[in-house]
Amino acid sequence: MSSVDLRAEFNRQMNQELRNAYLYLAMAAYFDSLSLTGFAHYFKVQAREELGHAMKFYEFMVDRGWEVELQDVPKPKTKWGSVLEAAEDFLAAETENTKRIWRLVDLARGAGDKAAESFLQWFVSEQVEEEKSASELLAKVRMARDQPAALLALDRALAERK
97 binding ligand FEO? (CB under 6 A): yes
> How many angstroms separate the CA atoms of 11 and 21, rounded?
15
Whole-angstrom Cα Rg for the chain: 17
Give the nearer residue to ligand FEO in terms of CB position, either 50 or 155.
50
Span 48-67, contacts to ligand FEO by CB under 6 A: 50, 53
19 binding ligand FEO? (CB under 6 A): no
Contacts of 86 (CB under 8 A, 6+ apart): 27, 30, 31, 80
Residue 18 and residue 48 in contact, taking contact as beta carbons nearer than 8 Å: no
Q: How far is the CB of 121 from ligand FEO (least distance, A)?
A: 14
Binding mask 63-92 for ligand FEO (x = CB under 6 A): ------------------------------
Residue ranges binding ligand FEO (CB under 6 A): 17, 20, 50, 53, 94, 97, 130
